[in-house]
Amino acid sequence: MELQVPDFSKGIVKKDVDLCYRCLKGVDEAYIRHKREQVEIEHAHH
């Protein structure tokens, strides 16, 4: 029983990590897009 509990916990952790990784990747892409737009706006003003 003791061996099954850590395996079960790791399975849950792995799912959370995968989900968070996808979310973080989406946030990174949105942040990069936002930064590019800011740069373009700054260049348009100069």
pLDDT for res 14: 60
- Residue identified by tokens 């509990």 is 5
* DSSP code per residue over the chain: -TTHHHHHHHHHHHHHHHHHHHHHHHHHHHHHHHHHHHHHHHHHH-
8: exposed, middle or buried (Cβ count in 10 Å: 0-12, 13-18, 19+): exposed
Structure tokens at 6: 């850590």
The identity of residue 14, as a single letter, is: K
pLDDT for res 8: 61
pLDDT for res 45: 75
- Per-residue pLDDT reduced to its tens digit, 1-46: 444 455 666 665 566 667 677 888 888 899 999 999 999 888 887 6
Structure tokens at 19: 């989900």
